[in-house]
Every structure is written in C-alpha cells, then in structure tokens.
Amino acid sequence: MQKLTFAATAAMGLEALVGKEIEQLGYEKKVENGKVIFEAPVTAIPRCNLWLRTADRLKIIVGTFKATTFDELFEGTKALPWEQYISEDGQFPVIGKSVKSQLHSVPDCQKIVKKAVAERLKRKHGIAYNMPETGALYRIEISLLKDVATLTIDTSGSGLHKRGYRVGQGEAPLKETMAAALVLLTNWKPDDPFIDPFCGSGTIPIEAALIGQNIAPGFNREFVSEDWFYMKEKYWQEAYEEAEDMANYDQPLDIHGTDIDHRMIEIAEKNAFEAGLADLIRWKQMQVKDLTIKEKNGYLVGNPPYGQRLKDEKEVFQIYHDLGQVMNNHPTWSVYILTAFEQFEKAYGKKATKKRKLFNGFIQTNYYQYFGQKEKGD
Ligand SMILES: C[S@@+](CC[C@H](N)C(=O)[O-])C[C@H]1O[C@@H](n2cnc3c(N)ncnc32)[C@H](O)[C@@H]1O
C-alpha cells in the first residue's frame, strides 16, 4: 500500500499540540479545526496510535468529495477503493455527522454509504459476496461539512484517552489526553519538581510521569487495526520495539500528587500501579492549605474544583485563595491551573502571566499560567 492520508482528531484548542506530536513522529502535517491531516505510510498506524498523547483518534481518510444529493453521496462513495481497506469478511458499521450541509439526515446518509460500500465490495469479490461481516472491524464515518463529504475509517478502536491504566476515578476526572496536554503546555522538564495538589484519580501526575520517562501512552492497550489484513504483525512489532527503545526508565522523577480526599489518593495509587509507575510518583492526602514545598524551580499543575460541579463558589474561592497564599512563598515555581471559575485570578491574588482558553469536555475553561522566576544553581 502506498502512502495513506490520515486525520488525527483533537479536542477544540488542542490541534496545534497534536500537530507538534505528529511532526515529532516525522510526518508533515496540516493543522485544521478539530483535526490534523497528514500523509504517511501504513506504519504510521501503530506508531501514531502508540505515541499520540493529546489526539482523540487516528482515522484513515478514504476520500473527500462534494455531495449535495443522495445520488452524489452514493456514487462518490462507490467510486472509492474500499476493497483496499476492508477485508472480504470485514464488519463495516457506518456512523455519521452533518454540519451546515444540504444532506442533513444523518441516518439516511449512513444507510446510503453502507449500501454504496457494500456494492463496491460486491463488485470486487463477486456475486457470491453476501457481506458476512464476521471478521475484523472497520468503522466508517461519513462526515458532512458545508456539503463536502469526508469518509474515514477509524484505526484506534476505543478513544486514545483510554490508556488502559484507569481502574478507578473520582467525580470529575480529567480526560487523559487533556491531562497530557496540560503538562505539555508547560515548560516542565523531567528533572524538575512537579506537583498536582488536586490530583483526584491521579491523571495529571501519571501523564507527567509517562512524558517524563518517554513512555508511549498506548503501550498498555489494544487497537482495532491490529486485526486488519494489511497491518502485518511486523509493523506492530517494530512500533512496540521502537517504543521500548525510546522509553527512558532510568530517568529519575520528582512528581507528587496530593488531594484532600484520602479515597482519591487510594484510587490514584491504584491507577499509577496499573500504569507501571507504582514507585515513581509520591501520593499524599493533604489539603492545599497545608502544602509544603522544599524544592525550587518546580511546576504546579492542577485541575481544582470549578465551583459548578464539585463545591460551591465560596468554598472554591477559599481554595484558590489558599493556593495563592502558599505559592506566594515560592516565587521560583511556575503555576498552571485549569478552571472555569471566572474569579480565579481575584481569589488567587495575582493576574496570570498568560491565559489560554481550553474546553474540558463541554465546559469552557481557562488555563491560567504563572511563570516562576527561575533561580540559577538550584
Ligand atoms: C476536578 S477534581 C480533580 C480530578 C483529577 N484531575 C482527575 O483526573 O481525577 C478536583 C479535586 O480537588 C480535590 N480538592 C477539593 N478541595 C481541595 C482542597 N482544599 N485541597 C486539596 N484538594 C482538594 C477534590 O477532592 C478533587 O479530587
């Protein structure tokens, strides 16, 4: 198979980070709204699925064409070389979405695409082909945007945020992809001290540790494309070997996770154990007010309660105020807080050096960033 065109999908606001990750894997990319497009050989499927920390999924773009009528959608779909991607016994369910397009009935679009792919495969496999759909899974998506149809096949299976380590969670866990993004948006280096004082189920410290030791986030899970007929076993083996070679298990880390709730600390410990990081992160039950910091030049990254979901506003204001008081005594530390609480800077007691809008699921948040005054020689 020659080069394929891929779309790595991303949460709003994280596209540029996903683009950077793709570039680091050696592929030239184009960053668009909600996705990053790139061309690469088939070996990008295992590599990207294993390595992408901030993308939601990796999809193959089978084709793009204009479609304002069902006929155009049918003919355009049938003209694409589906037999190159889907095995004779392959299952190919079709999901869909339509935005600002004349073809707005998504169930009808799904049915048409299913029919067109089936007809194409029949032409290839002969009259006896009766869509057994007993084999590997090739999930097709028809996505219409301003009358342009894009047809993709998902290579990931469950979303890439499912790393395989989360055995427990609290009330408002952060998606692993978002937690990785929060870490990657800082200037933290693996040798620097790192604290999440609102660690909950431990997602941010765990993602930081994976980044710190350069461990591929997908190392402990499976991907739907592992079963595909053109995904030779050696492609996966080579990607796993590369991941093993690139991991730096000797990198010492100074990562702490603390939380007021002892049940959260137990969950975080279990999740870290599942991630293979049992001895690498130090966990402790503690309220932010009592946080003690001994080192200099560290990074504090946190996703505290927002006042909407977990605690009421007054209580949240006090928590942010406590955090501001504590960090006031540690000017060499950089502080990064994700919250939807509009009064954050007022409560914290200082204007942020920088603010970045991010979506945590459907909640619009700000990522408040305070850059520490670095001291040399510490
Ligand atoms: C939004 S959750 C964090 C979720 C976490 N990022 C995860 O992925 O599981 C906020 C956490 O802050 C903790 N918390 C609330 N008040 C606190 C305080 N005063 N000091 C420390 N932690 C606090 C809660 O127990 C909760 O686990």
Could you tell me which residues come within 8 angstroms of residue 250 by beta carbon, excluding any fewer than 6 positions away?
Answer: none
Q: Is residue 339 in contact with ligand 1, taking CB distance under 6 Å?
A: no
27: tokens are 């592929």
User: Virtual CA dihedral for 222, 13, 209, 291, nearest 10 degrees?
Assistant: -140
Q: Is residue 247 in contact with ligand 1, taking CB distance under 6 Å?
A: no
Q: How far is CA 179 from CA 26, 54, 63, 338, in A?
A: 24, 8, 33, 10
Q: Is residue 220 in contact with ligand 1, taking CB distance under 6 Å?
A: no
Where in the chain are all domains bearing CATH 3.40.50.150? 176-216+253-370
Q: Is residue 177 in contact with ligand 1, taking CB distance under 6 Å?
A: no
Q: How far is CA 95 from CA 140, 268, 275, 322, in A?
A: 6, 35, 32, 47
What single DSSP character describes residue 357? Answer: E
Q: Is residue 288 in contact with ligand 1, taking CB distance under 6 Å?
A: yes
Tell me which residue has tokens 């299952």: 91
Where in the chain are all domains bearing CATH 3.30.2130.30? 4-154
Q: How far is CA 310 from CA 73, 301, 330, 349, 364, in A?
A: 46, 19, 28, 22, 16
By the 8 A CB rule, do 355 and 364 touch?
A: no
For residue 310, what pLDDT is reported?
A: 58
Distance CA 257, CA 235 (A): 37
Q: Is residue 303 in contact with ligand 1, taking CB distance under 6 Å?
A: yes
Q: Give CATH for domain 176-216+253-370.
A: 3.40.50.150
How many Å lie between the centroid of ligand 1 and the Cα of residue 203? 11
By the 8 A CB rule, do 34 and 90 touch?
A: no
For residue 131, what pLDDT is reported?
A: 85
Q: Is residue 319 in contact with ligand 1, taking CB distance under 6 Å?
A: yes
For residue 129, what pLDDT is reported?
A: 80
By the 8 A CB rule, do 258 and 291 touch?
A: yes
How many Å lie between the centroid of ligand 1 and the Cα of residue 311? 10
For residue 126, what pLDDT is reported?
A: 85
How many Å lie between the centroid of ligand 1 and the Cα of residue 310? 9
Mutate to test the pocket of ligand 1, among 167, 171, 260 (most ligand atoms within 8 A of CB): 260
- DSSP code string of 294-317: --SS-EEEE----SSSSS-HHHHH
What single DSSP character describes residue 91? Answer: B
By the 8 A CB rule, do 149 and 65 touch?
A: yes
Distance CA 341, CA 338 (A): 9
Strands 255-259 and 194-196: parallel
CB atoms within 10 A of CB 331: 12
Amino acid (one-letter) located at 180: A
Q: Is residue 203 in contact with ligand 1, taking CB distance under 6 Å?
A: yes
Distance CA 265, CA 285 (A): 6
Q: Is residue 46 in contact with ligand 1, taking CB distance under 6 Å?
A: no
Distance CA 346, CA 204 (A): 25
CATH architecture of the domain with residue range 4-154: 2-Layer Sandwich (3.30)
Cα 250 vs. chain centroid, distance in angstroms? 26
Could you tell me which residues come within 8 angstroms of residue 134 by beta carbon, excluding any fewer than 6 positions away?
Answer: 89, 91
Residue 171, phi then psi, degrees to nearest 5? -75, -40
Q: Is residue 287 in contact with ligand 1, taking CB distance under 6 Å?
A: yes
Could you tell me which residues come within 8 angstroms of residue 1 by beta carbon, excluding any fewer than 6 positions away?
Answer: 41, 42, 84, 230
Alpha helices in the chain (DSSP H): 15-24, 44-51, 70-78, 106-125, 176-184, 203-212, 233-246, 262-274, 313-328, 344-348
Q: Is residue 218 in contact with ligand 1, taking CB distance under 6 Å?
A: no
Which atom of ligand 1 lies nearest, measured to the CA of 287? Answer: 20
Which atom of ligand 1 lies nearest, measured to the CA of 174? Answer: 8
- DSSP code string of 121-177: HHHHH-TT------S-B--EEEEEETTEEEEEEESSSS-TT--S--S---SSPPPHH
Of all protein residues, the one whose alpha carbon is nearest to atom 12 of ligand 1 is 198
How many Å lie between the centroid of ligand 1 and the Cα of residue 106? 39
3-state SS class at 263: helix
Amino acid (one-letter) located at 130: N
Tens-level pLDDT at each residue, the chain (378 residues): 689 999 999 999 999 999 999 999 999 999 999 999 999 999 999 999 999 999 999 999 999 999 999 999 999 999 999 999 999 999 999 999 999 999 999 999 999 999 999 999 999 988 778 889 999 999 999 999 999 999 999 999 999 999 999 999 888 889 999 999 999 999 999 999 999 999 999 999 999 999 999 999 999 999 999 999 999 999 999 999 999 999 999 999 999 999 999 999 999 999 999 999 988 999 999 999 999 999 999 999 999 999 875 568 889 999 999 999 999 999 999 999 999 999 999 999 999 999 999 999 999 999 999 999 977 654
By the 8 A CB rule, do 213 and 205 touch?
A: no
Q: Is residue 200 in contact with ligand 1, taking CB distance under 6 Å?
A: yes
Q: Is residue 204 in contact with ligand 1, taking CB distance under 6 Å?
A: yes
Of all protein residues, the one whose alpha carbon is nearest to atom 20 of ligand 1 is 287
